Structure formats: C-alpha cells, structure tokens
Amino acid sequence: MKAQRQLSIRQYKASGFIGEQQELVRTTVIPYQYDVLRDRAGTEKSHVFDNFKNAAAALSGEDTGDGFYGMVFQDSDAAKWLEAAAFSIAVKPDRELEKEADELISLIAAAQDRDGYINTYFTIKDRDKRWTNLLEGHEMYCSGHLFEAGAAYYEATGKRELLDVCLKNAEHIYDRFVTQGKAGYPGHPEIELALLKLYRASGDERCLELAKHFIDVRGVDKDFYKKEKQARDWTVWGNNADDHDYQQNGSPVRLQKDATGHAVRAVYLYTGMADMAGESDDEELYNACRKLWESITERRMYVTGGIGSTVHGEAFSVDYDLPSDTAYAETCASCGLMFFASRMLEIKPSAEYADVMEQAFYNTVLAGMARDGKSFFYVNPLECIPGISGVSPTHRHDLTQRPGWYACACCPPNVARTIMSLGQYAYGESDDTAFCHMYAAGETSFKNGVQLVCETAYPFDMNVTYRSKKGGKTAVRLPGWSENTVITLNGKEIEPEIKNGYAYLTLADNDEVKLKLDDKPRMIFASGRVPELTGKACICRGPLVYCFEGVDNDGDVLSLRLKSELKAELTKVQVFDDIPALSVEALRSQGKGSLYFRERPKLTEMTAKAIPYFCCANRGETQMRIWLPIVY
C-alpha cells in the first residue's frame, strides 16, 4: 500500500533555517540535556544515569544506593536523548558524543535482566510487580522509546549493543504476550510504532507480529484495565480504569472514529496504526486512520497544529472546543501529530498531510523550545496574560515563560530528536520518485539515484529553488495555503502534472526548478462552531502563525483590534537574529478604567507588530495573543 517511504537519517544534509535549528540542538540542547540526565546542570533532579546504575546493582544483589528517583517513565528520557544523539552523529560525526552515548548504552545493557526485561522503576522498586499494571506502569512505553533509540543508533553508527538489548527485550515481551498468550495491551501507546522501526532495523519478523498483535487486541476487551486493577492492591497514579476515551480502548481500533483522550497516547497509537496499515496493505486499518485524521484536523486541532485542548487528562475534549487561554497543546502531541502525518503521507502522497506536518513543526514543535535551547514549554497556549496565566487555578498550566527543566521532561528530548531527524519528514522516496514534502534547505540523495540541492530562506522567504545534481522523477508539494504558486523550470514558467497537491516533474541533470509561493500575509478565520473564536481572526504568512506580544505593542495586546481588510507587511526591524516581524495596520480600543461602563470605547488607528508564534515568550513576561477581535 505504501506509495513512498521515509529517507534514512544519512540521506539529508541540512543548511539554511533547518541547518541552524539542528546546529542549536547539536551544540547546545544535546549537551545540556546530557548534563541534566547526569544531574550536573543545576536543574531539577533527573537521576536517569543513576537509575540505570542502581538497577544493575539490584540485579547483582548489591546495594542499590539511593534507589529509584523520578516518574515511572523516567527511562524514556534516556532513550529519547540517545535517539537525538544518534541523529546528531549521523548529521555530523562527533567522537565525544558517541563516547557519551556508548557509556549510557553500557549502563542500560547492565540494567537488563537475564530474561530480557528492562525497566529501572520495577527492577529497583519491586520486581514482583512487573507486568501487573499495564494501565499505569509505562513498561512498554519505555521499551518503545528504547527501540526507537536502538534502531536510530544502529543506523547512525553500525553498533549493535543497544540494538541487541532492544531485540532481547522485544523477545521477552513477545514471549509473554504472543507465545504465552497473556492478556493485555499498552496503557500508553508507543511500542507499536517503535516495533515497526525495530523490525526495519533488524529484520526480525517477531517485531512486526508483536506490533500487529498490540494494535489488533486493543479495545477488544475494553474492560481489561478494570480487571487488571481489581487483581492488584497498588497503584501509581490512581488512573480511572473505566475511562475508555482517555485510554483509546472503548472499541477495537478499526471501529474508532473520534480522536479521544490523552492526545500524545492517541497520536502515537494512530502513528503505529498508519504504519502497520501501509506495511501490511490493510485497507480497513487505513480507513480507520483516515477517520481519526479527519477528527483531529477538521474538528479538534488548533491553528498552530497544537492538539489536546484540555488540561484534564492532557486530552482531546469534544469537537470545536479550542480555547486559546486554557489550551493544553502539549509539545509532544504535536511531535506525534507529525509522526502520524508522515505515516499517512507514505500511504498516499497528499499535500493535506504535509501541510499539517509543516503546520505542527513550524508552530507548536518549535515553540516548545526557547531560542537559546535551554528552556522548554510542555504546554503551548495561544494566549497568555500575566497575572492570570500560570496563576489562576483554571490557567495554572499555561505559563508565560518556559521552565529550564521539569520533572515530567518528555517534551525537551522529543523536540531535539524531531529537529535532528527533520530530513525524514521533509523528504521521501519511492523506487522511481523523489518527494519533497517540506521546503528544507540542504542536499538530499535518494536511493533511486536522484540528487537534489534545495536553496531557500524558508519559512521567512517564499522562494524555493531545487537544483538536480542528478535528475529523475521528482514530486514537489504545493502547499494549500499558497493561493498563487509559480513554477519555473530553467527559467521558463511551466504547468506540470499536479496530483493531490504535488507537482510531478521529470528532471534532467543540472535542471533548476523554482517555486515562488504566495508571500502575502493572510487573515485566518475559524468555524462559527468554535465559540472561543467568534468575531476573531489571526494572521499567517507562509507556514507561520503570528502572535502579538505586549513587549512590541506598548504592553497591551488585549485592546488590539484587527481591521476587516488586512494590511500587513514584513518589517525592516529584525526581532531575533534574522527573523522578521510583521507590521500590521490595527486599531486600539480605549475605554474607561472601571470594570464595566456604558460609554462606547474609542478606536484609534495604530501600527501593531506581530512575530512568529514559535518566537513568543523569549523576551520576559508579557501579554501574548494569536487571535484578535475584528472591527468591520
């Protein structure tokens, strides 16, 4: 069923904006997070390295030192760091980083039980409780992230130690749930998508079979978690075993129609489903994925590509419930949305999938990390007001500033690994076609022989050039947001075959294709079914959503109003480095200072400034808004 596939991590060498982001991750984020994992960064304690050391000691019957510290899924922080490190080594070899990664891998290997089981929480705290709390225990979630790291590190370095640890662990899980037929499926989906990566790295068919098993059995017995809870006398979180929406287990996955519950769990599950549908030519499973995709993108997604609108369960709520000021929009969820979009894109190359993938990346994923690479958002609100955001009980989760590190540190390494592996999302290939899904500057070599160089200052400049060092059939996405796209081949305007939003070209060696995308700022309106956004609009340019911060607008964005006819242009003043702002003709509403009053507020003409949303919250505490009221 797959029409094309992701590239390997070595096939794309970035430059331009993506190259800059990767360099920030490589030189700052990865070393910083390594120090965090070793508890020497001066941040909240992580203890990840020591957890593995203490688990190895427990297996040897030795003193476990200070025991286990952290969340039940603390091991996954190490795995995601290793995956980011693997991608970094593939992009630019680094002996010191490889040495650090090898040291951590050796610790992980030493913490693996003889039967293949590996999880520091249970190994240190209570080995007798293994596999008795799939609802909350995150054992397979941690294994999944380890499998992703093992596959990536093997691909980047050719070293098998971590891969072999992963295969031994997968064999242990296979033996329990397939060979022995023990009931159950992962509480937090992740292992499904990871097993498919491990299968491709190793060729071990059991990984493929195990992934299919967990997808097929989920929700068949919707009361599994309830029965499991009744059989034990302990808990981690006190999760509600009857909350089928939260756990995506109210029905078998092929019958699910709405994206529900914990947003990260949901899109990780959907990614595994889509990958399995493509791998096994399962049309029924693909159709289920399609319904879930439509549920997210047509009724439950923010304009930033953020998903999960409520703090209660970090979850999807109901259709059209998309509040700006209490948004959850976890960074990890948008990473997961990119993963889901990429797997759907493999089955059917269609611009709608790439458009959403790009929307999530340039807005919420990048917004999850500060410009200095050392502080991070877990939650990504679309509106922040100091004194309310982070303070009011209803808004406590929506912070005005990114923290440096936090106890549940899933998002920082997720951002790092996503940025370092962006080539896998920006480009794809089939046996005879090179696919350009996102406009990522750099050089890409495809296994079908095509070699392309992309030159662009995207996402700030809308001119994109592809030069074919070696020609062949090439498909270039035409984004849905660009109303007027001009394509030239060797200086002559052309009208190529267009299918599902991709322009299909047959290039000779040294051909030059130029795309001139629509560079005008545009006003975006929401469905009248979204109560929060009635009478409001936001501004986008290219893939970027723009926001208004108080620091640029006399400290006050609440009184800003947009004119019904948008007049906006790039400013000559750079906000950060070479990132331009937008100058917007707007109105300011000026009323009395009392709480309520009768006199109509006066509207005065003014010029407002808007910046890319991913740049917000980098210049101190200040008001921020994406959606503004419109004056007609």
pLDDT tens per residue across span 334-371:
999 999 999 999 999 999 999 999 999 999 999 999 99
pLDDT in tens, 233-251: 999 999 999 999 999 999 9
String of DSSP letters for 267-333: HHHHHHHHHHHHHHT-HHHHHHHHHHHHHHHHHSB-TTS-B--BTTTTB--STT---STT----HHH
User: What is the spatial distance between Cα 173 and Cα 178, in angstroms, rounded to a whole number?
Assistant: 8
Q: 611 has which bridge partners?
A: 547
pTM (2 d.p.): 0.97
Give the rounded distance of the alpha carbon of 397 from its chain centre. Answer: 19
pLDDT at site 345: 98
pLDDT at site 576: 77
pLDDT at site 44: 85
Domains and CATH numbers, the chain: 252-346+354-421 (no CATH), 427-459+462-516 (2.60.40), 522-631 (no CATH)
Q: What is the mean pLDDT of the chain?
A: 96
Of 456, 498, 444, 457, the residue nearest 475 (C-alpha): 498
pLDDT band at 572 (very low <50, low <70, confident <90, very high): confident
pLDDT in tens, 462-489: 999 999 999 999 999 999 999 999 999 9
pLDDT at site 42: 86
pLDDT at site 497: 97
Q: Report the share of the chain in percent with pLDDT over 70.
A: 100
- Residue 136 half-sphere exposure toward CB, CA atoms < 13 A: 19
Among 168-182, 528-542, 560-574, the minimum mean pLDDT is found in: 560-574
- Residue 130 half-sphere exposure toward CB, CA atoms < 13 A: 16
pLDDT at site 100: 98
pLDDT at 163 over 90: yes
The residues, any chain, with a CB within 8 Å of residue 397's CB and separated by 6 or more, are: 311, 326, 328, 379
Among 109-113, 524-528, 533-537, 588-592, the minimum mean pLDDT is found in: 588-592
Of 564, 572, 515, 518, the residue nearest 541 (C-alpha): 518
Q: 371-392 b/e with 16+ CB inside 10 Å = b?
A: bebbbbbbbbbbbbbbebbbee
Kindly list the distances between the CA atom of residue 248 and the CA atoms of 252, 272, 277, in Å, as whole numbers in the listed order: 9, 13, 18
Among 110-119, 394-403, 534-543, the minimum mean pLDDT is found in: 394-403
User: What is the spatial distance between Cα 504 and Cα 487, in angstroms, rounded to a whole number?
Assistant: 11
Kindly list the distances between the CA atom of residue 491 and the CA atoms of 50, 469, 506, 577, in Å, as whole numbers in the listed order: 60, 17, 16, 32
pLDDT at site 406: 72
pLDDT at site 360: 98
pLDDT at 569 over 90: yes
Residue 154 parent element (H or E): helix 139-157
User: What is the spatial distance between Cα 632 and Cα 627, in angstroms, rounded to a whole number?
Assistant: 16
pLDDT at 513 over 80: yes
User: What is the spatial distance between Cα 632 and Cα 623, in angstroms, rounded to a whole number?
Assistant: 25
Residues catalogued as catalytic: 314, 410
Q: Which DSSP symbol is given to 365?
A: I
